[in-house]
Amino acid sequence: MTGARSTSWKAIRTIARRELVSYFTSPVAYVFLVIFLLLTGFFTFTAGAFFERGEASLASFFVWQPWLYLVLVPAVGMRLWSEERRSGTLELLLTFPVATWQAILGKFLASWAFLAIALVLTFPVILTVNVLGDPDNGVIAAGYLGSLLLAGAYLAIACMTSAMTRNQVVAFILAVVICLFLILAGFNPVTDLLTRWASPAFVDAVAGFSVMTHFDGFQKGVIALRDLVFFLSVIGFALFATSVIIRGHRAG
């Protein structure tokens, strides 16, 4: 059994490596990284009033991320499957001796790793806050973990919409809409509006589907099991849906 497992990981690694390298052989990766870092900087220091807050934390850094990722993560994920379908390489990929789930996981992990690289490159904010004050680095670490999971959830959704169409723009827009819904379900102005006419239990149930609700804990430094489970199940569900969609296309 270990033999089978190691060959199956090898196939996933091979696909992931190819995918990750392909990000960096096109200018897309560098454009994305520059824009991501510029926007992160702008939101943290200008819009987030990092200095005016007068506290040694990265709250102003994390609080914007659901919105920032809303646009940027689907841009990373939109090409995953639509490009393979458009160029016909899907036929090549799926006739290699790999299972569909291995191909999906390999491609997802590659783009997630790419987002992790982007996140790692935000390290100057950690240095800044540590030079200027004495922050709780445990809270920051939890925030980063939450941020990575948040990006993974958006990415899995973009992966799913990308499998639906061979048009990257359509995949992008669908992913943004779905992710926006996942934000708004727990966005304070929206939940406030809901409480006026719905029961608190209903509002809570809706908010339970939101990334905002589950990202909140991480920002405060709390790594709760239910938040972890939430993000991992969004990822798991979206990737499973991807496999169903891909199988559906082939069944004709």
Q: Which residues contribute to the site for another protein (CB under 8 A)?
A: 7, 10-11, 14-15, 18, 21-22, 25-26, 87-89, 91-92, 94-99, 250-252
Distance (Å, whole) CA 112 – CA 235: 11
Distance in Å, CB of 247 to another protein, minimum = 8
Radius of gyration of the chain (CA): 19
The closest alpha carbon to 176, from 80, 23, 72, 34, belongs to 72
Using DSSP, state whether 91 is helix, strand or coil. Answer: helix
Distance (Å, whole) CA 86 – CA 213: 37
Q: Which is closer to another protein, CB of 91 or CB of 192?
A: 91
Percent helix, percent strand, percent coil in the chain, to nearest 5:
85, 0, 15
Distance in Å, CB of 146 to another protein, minimum = 33
Q: Which is closer to another protein, CB of 89 or CB of 195?
A: 89
Distance (Å, whole) CA 142 – CA 122: 15
Distance in Å, CB of 12 to another protein, minimum = 11
Distance in Å, CB of 104 to another protein, minimum = 15
DSSP label at residue 236: H
The closest alpha carbon to 74, from 9, 193, 148, 159, belongs to 159
Distance in Å, CB of 76 to another protein, minimum = 16
Q: Which is closer to another protein, CB of 21 or CB of 193?
A: 21
Q: What residues contact residue 46 under an 8 Å CB cut-off, 6+ apart?
A: none
Q: Which is closer to another protein, CB of 88 or CB of 133?
A: 88
Q: Which is closer to another protein, CB of 201 or CB of 251?
A: 251
**Helices within the chain (DSSP H only):** 2-25, 28-41, 50-53, 59-62, 65-77, 79-87, 89-95, 100-120, 123-132, 137-164, 168-184, 188-195, 200-207, 211-219, 225-251
Q: Which is closer to another protein, CB of 60 or CB of 168?
A: 168
Distance in Å, CB of 240 to another protein, minimum = 19
Distance in Å, CB of 186 to another protein, minimum = 39
Q: Which is closer to another protein, CB of 54 or CB of 97?
A: 97
